[in-house]
Amino acid sequence: MEIDTRKQEDSKNQRTIANSFYIAIKSFGTTLPMLLGVILLLGLFSVFVTSEMISSVFTGELLRDTVIGSLIGSISAGNPIISYIIGGELLKEQVSLFAVAAFIVAWVTVGVLQFPAEAAILGKRFATARNILGFILAIVVSIATVTTLTLMAIP
């Protein structure tokens, strides 16, 4: 009798674990077409947008370049290592540290390419607010970081 009850409890637990994973797979499966679309877009981006194209848009004007840096970082995507390499190259080409900092922060905090997936899964309002705030905050973080760095350098 006891064994039967235990067996019943075990099978109930097993069903619950199986159900939990079934729900997870189903939920993940729903988002799979969107994720595949984003991955394919990333492939197009890596081939058609080169680092030369990115560096050519900076003008030399500090504030405008910082906004451009945040804008280019927002529409760019990929491994953050690429943003560091491009950022390093931009510094060599005399692009300001404000612009480069905004570029590397926006690269990882704002995702225009991922926006359709984020809006579909987490909601349009959330995704829009998060990305717009990310764009603005990349500029703010860049100005705060470089200003503090400059102040610290003054003896």
Partner 1 sequence: MKEKRATKNGVKKKGEGYYYGLYFLGAVIGLYIVLYLLEPDSIQKALKASGNVLIQIVPVLFLILILMGVVNYCVKPKTVSKYVGEGSGIKGWFLAVSTGMLSHGPIYIWYPLLKDLRDQGMRSGLVAVFLYNRAIKIPLLPLMVYYFGTVFVVLLLIYMIIASIVEGKVIEMIERLNFSRL
Nearer to partner 1, 95 or 130 (CB): 130
R_g of the chain, CA atoms, integer Å: 23
Output the six-digit token pair for 146. Answer: 């470089």
CA-nearest of 96, 13, 33, 88 to 61 is: 96
Task: Name residues contacting partner 1, limited to 42-61 (CB under 8 A).
Answer: 42-44, 46-48
Alpha carbon 153 to chain centroid, angstroms: 31
Q: Cα–Cα distance between 96 and 83 in angstroms, integer?
A: 15
Sole binder of partner 1 in the list 1, 3, 81, 154 (CB under 8 A): 81
The verdict on 28 binding partner 1 (CB under 8 A) reads yes
Q: What is the largest CA-CA distance in the chain?
A: 83
Of positions 12, 64, 87, 93, contacts partner 1 by CB under 8 A = 87
CA 91, CA 103: separation in Å to the nearest integer? 12
Applying CB under 8 A, the residues found at the interface with partner 1 are: 16-17, 19-21, 23-25, 27-28, 30-44, 46-48, 80-81, 84-85, 87-88, 97, 100-101, 105, 108-109, 111, 114, 116-118, 120-122, 125-126, 129-130, 133-134, 137, 140-141, 144-145, 148-149, 152
